[in-house]
Amino acid sequence: MKDDALNWFEIFVSDLGKAKDFYGTILGSELTQVQSETTDCNMAIFNFNQELGVGGCLTQACDQCKPGAGGTMVYLNVEGELDNVLSRIPSAGGVVVRERMAIPPHGFIGIFSDPDGNVVGLHSMA
């Protein structure tokens, strides 16, 4: 078993196009939409370097996986852009749940709710 405890995450959404636009807008990054070859799920993958770290996607999933608050909390790396990302959330259709908060010595976090009600964290060392 590798030392990395996490290698992938999925944020379940009800409308993939709307969620892809929301996350693309707040993060200032294009997501790549794909159809799963093994399931009926449609996905939009966040940009990531497979050699260096964790990847993840938005998933408009089958019946067993529903979006909403109270599930898994994931933190998206927005290094150096935390305030900019937080500022774009309301106009993109989300709600800032927690503004920038220091978590010394590990940097800063912010937390938001996306249009499906998923609660997602943001992390930056700066």
pLDDT digits (tens, 9 = 90+) for 70-85: 667 889 999 999 999 9
Q: Return d(Cα 111, Cα 86) in angstroms, integer.
A: 8
- Contacts of 62-65 with CB under 8 Å at 24 or more apart are 65/10, 65/12, 65/41
Q: What is the CATH superfamily name and number for domain 8-124?
A: 2,3-Dihydroxybiphenyl 1,2-Dioxygenase, domain 1 (3.10.180.10)
pLDDT of residue 1 exceeding 50? no
Where in the chain are the domains?
8-124
Confidence (pLDDT) at 92: 98
CA distance 120 to 21: 16
